[in-house]
Amino acid sequence: MTVRTLQIGFVGAGYIADWHARALRTLPGLNLLAVCDRDAARARQLASRFAVDSTYTDLASMLAGQRLDAIHVLLPPDQHFAAAMESLEAGAHVLLEKPMCLLEEECSVLVQQARRKTCALGVSHNFLHYPIYRRFKEDVAAGRLGRLDHVTIAWNKELLQLRGRPFGSWMLQGSGNIILESGVHSVAHLVDLVGIPDSIEARADAPIELPNGVRFFRRWFVRAIKDAVCVELRFGFGPGFAEHVIQARGSAGTATVDFENDVYTVRRHRRFEPDFDRYERLVDEGRNVIRQARRNLARYGLSKFHLSDRGNAFAHSISGSLADFYSRVPSKGEDSFQGNFGRTVVGTCNAICAAAGVEVSARKQSSAESRRRPAVAPAALVLGGTGFIGRSLVQQLLGEGETVRLLVRDVSKVPLAIREAGVDIVSGDHRNAADLDRALEGVRFVYHLARANARTWSEFQQLDIEATRNVAEACLRARVEMLYYTSSIDCYYSGGRTVIDESTPIDPHIHRRNLYAQAKAASEQILLQMHRGQGLPVVIFRPGIVIGRGASPFHWGTAFWAWDSICRLWGEGRHPLPIVLVGDVSRALAGARKVPGLAGESFNLVGDPCLSAREYLEQLQKALRTEFDIRPTPAWKLFSFDLFKWLVKFLARHPERRLPSYRDWKTRSFESTYDSSKAKKVLGWQPTSDRATIIRVGIVDAAEEWYP
């Protein structure tokens, strides 16, 4: 008997959707038929990567346009309930990403709706499906650890969203949201191991105030009791060495589930006297860890050649979660285990927040709430105004008495200080012509600082190069006085000991450089062609290595960062770096609008040379009170390693393989000297030249903000 292939639809095309799509490929009888996301470009990107023909921007249209058996709800948690209800009403099975919903009551409604519609309802708690966790559960069930007495679950992993900015994601919209977003993994383990706790004590500390006005707690301590078992949860979301482990103590042994390293260890007594027992246990444990480490490395290598689907434990856990759900689909609404389990996890998460005196916020800033119209039409439109340089530029323009408008896809990502400063905030996408035309009404100047989150050349073409063309065409239609485009010095070749100024041509071999540099060069070419052919009033700025508060002090222009404490210098690291403070860049950008006759000009924005890479890292170590492992690395070594990776990708037919370039590695050494005298002369620009000030503002202040 032939089993019919189930047709799947995704609502949400973000980070986790990529993992779900990969997992579906490993499971028989399942086909991803359609993708839905309100960001049409993002939906198309995901669909293109996984050969999906149909994309939609709203769930109702997808449900009406396709015969779908199941929907994966891969949206932010505050949108789970509505999307799941709509999908169940349409008769589709529903698999939700964790958490199931925000409230236990919402979960109960979904369980009832699934039973009424005879649909399967599941929640993807993928960490329950890690192979090492399954082994641990088997040992507990078999009594190999004896009676459990104490379990510690530690999730100490830096929350990168605290660094990345802006702070518009749902997990940062309320003080307790992080427990439902990230803490839910550990809570799922708690419930899976002991059930609903009899009592919960919780404390949240290490608070910081986010720019969106939310008080975020970077450390949480939870103590839950169930019968005779004590379970302690520890969460740490600040910077530090990553740790995600479960440690269990029983009457007959202990066990450690190390998710970060994909290693499982058990300690039980042997048949020897204490001293020999200890020796035998340690030797056996060491051999076991080495054996698992070799196994993991072998699986990783085999997976690169498509000889194994077990190369990534996280990917395997997603596949396991999906397989578990679809194994229950034939039962339809009769088996509500996953729904009931998800409901219990949500209830426990909320109980933890209540015990800590911290609220979960289901509310997200809306467009209407965020828009505070200025008294006069804004003179300047800033694209990319929520980014590092963009935020500084907006503050600079406001400080000079200018009226400002932002065009943003998600208004909740706009920092509170900017929202409260009278900035006109327009919801839209600069890749959409209609949104741009609306945002350009009454505007005199446009600052284009937006950059794409792209990986492939096709994505750079669509999201960066063509988006820039779209902005330029809109500026021509609106007859703006000037478009200021922020490019990068990465367009130049700086691997030789020469002086680079605005007369220096763009790298003549730009096609052998990284995709970001190629995209910036291509965008510049389009803008200058439109200036010469259509009279586009445009000025191009090429900032250097921009440093300061609001960005990572671990700038890749200074070194190749493997980890926050381990880096390779681009060469010897003795040449002065083309460093510039973010405040100096924003002053140049803002000041340009006061200087007439700049159309068609370009300006390099680099401060006076004062710090080499070695000196920069020396000052950063002092600021962080951390010793770095710093290794000078010649370009040929970096190129050789890159060439090896390319060879592996080529043999494995990796879709994103790209022949590496020695020229690209060499240019990162910044052996050339940058000359910004044109900007100083024409714009009257005076970048900070005092070495002590650059160290204090660009390194120390940035480091203190990064590690508050």
How many domains is the chain built from? 4
Q: How far apart are CA 471 and CA 474, in angstroms?
A: 5
Of 567, 705, 686, which Cα lies nearest the Cα of 638?
A: 567
Pairing of strands 482-486, 445-448: parallel
Are 172 and 221 found together in one domain? yes
In-domain check, residue 101: yes
- Residue ranges in the chain whose pLDDT is less than 50: 1, 332-334, 366-370
In-domain check, residue 452: yes
Identify the pLDDT of residue 322.
97
Of 540, 618, 605, which Cα lies nearest the Cα of 579?
A: 605
Are 241 and 258 found together in one domain? yes
Which residue among 98, 125, 152 closes a domain?
Answer: 125
Give the CATH number, domain containing residue 590.
Answer: 3.40.50.720
239's CB contacts (< 8 A; 6+ apart) are 158, 564, 706, 707
In-domain check, residue 491: no
Give, in order, the Cα–Cα distances in Å from 131 to each of 190, 295, 302, 319, 345.
17, 13, 18, 11, 21
Q: Dig out the tokens for 540 from the structure.
A: 């191009």
Q: How far apart are CA 698 and CA 579, in angstroms?
A: 9
Are 343 and 382 found together in one domain? no
Residue 62 belongs to domain spanning: 6-125
Identify the pLDDT of residue 3.
67
> For every residue of 158-175, which 3-state class applies, written as one string?
CCCHHHHCCCCCHHHCCC
Are 566 and 691 found together in one domain? yes
In-domain check, residue 134: yes
Are 544 and 652 found together in one domain? yes
What count of residues does the chain have?
708
Is the previous residue joined to 553 through a cis bond, with omega within 30 degrees of 0? no
Of 114, 16, 100, 116, which Cα lies nearest the Cα of 70?
A: 114
Q: How far apart are CA 666 and CA 661, in angstroms?
A: 9
Strand order in the sheet with 629-633: 560-563, 566-570, 629-633
483's CB contacts (< 8 A; 6+ apart) are 445, 446, 448, 471, 472, 475, 527, 536, 537, 538, 539
Are 445 and 531 found together in one domain? no
Of 578, 567, 553, 572, which Cα lies nearest the Cα of 666?
A: 572
Are 549 and 507 found together in one domain? yes
Which residue among 125, 144, 159 closes a domain?
Answer: 125
Q: Dig out the tokens for 63 from the structure.
A: 């449900």
In-domain check, residue 183: yes
Identify the pLDDT of residue 452.
83
Cβ atoms of residues 516 and 459 within 8 Å: no
Are 406 and 541 found together in one domain? no
Identify the pLDDT of residue 454.
84
In-domain check, residue 486: no
Is the previous residue joined to 99 through a cis bond, with omega within 30 degrees of 0? yes
Round to the nearest angstrom and report the end-to-end CA distance of the chain: 62
Cβ atoms of residues 383 and 407 within 8 Å: yes
Q: How far apart are CA 248 and CA 145, in angstroms?
A: 8
In-domain check, residue 278: yes
Are 372 and 287 found together in one domain? no
> For every residue of 55-105, which 3-state class applies, written as one string?
EECCHHHHHHHCCCCEEEECCCHHHHHHHHHHHHHCCCEEEEECCCCCCHH
In-domain check, residue 211: yes
Are 352 and 379 found together in one domain? no
To which H or E segment does residue 108 belong?
A: helix 104-116
Are 528 and 647 found together in one domain? yes
Of 406, 407, 381, 531, which Cα lies nearest the Cα of 469?
A: 531
3-state DSSP: the chain helix, strand, coil percent, rounded to 5?
Answer: 45, 20, 35
Pairing of strands 229-236, 70-73: unpaired
141's CB contacts (< 8 A; 6+ apart) are none
Of 384, 380, 388, 391, which Cα lies nearest the Cα of 407?
A: 384
258's CB contacts (< 8 A; 6+ apart) are 132, 244, 245, 264, 265
Cβ atoms of residues 9 and 36 within 8 Å: yes
Of 398, 414, 361, 388, which Cα lies nearest the Cα of 706?
A: 388
Q: How far apart are CA 44 and CA 39, in angstroms?
A: 9
Which residue among 297, 324, 356 closes a domain?
Answer: 356
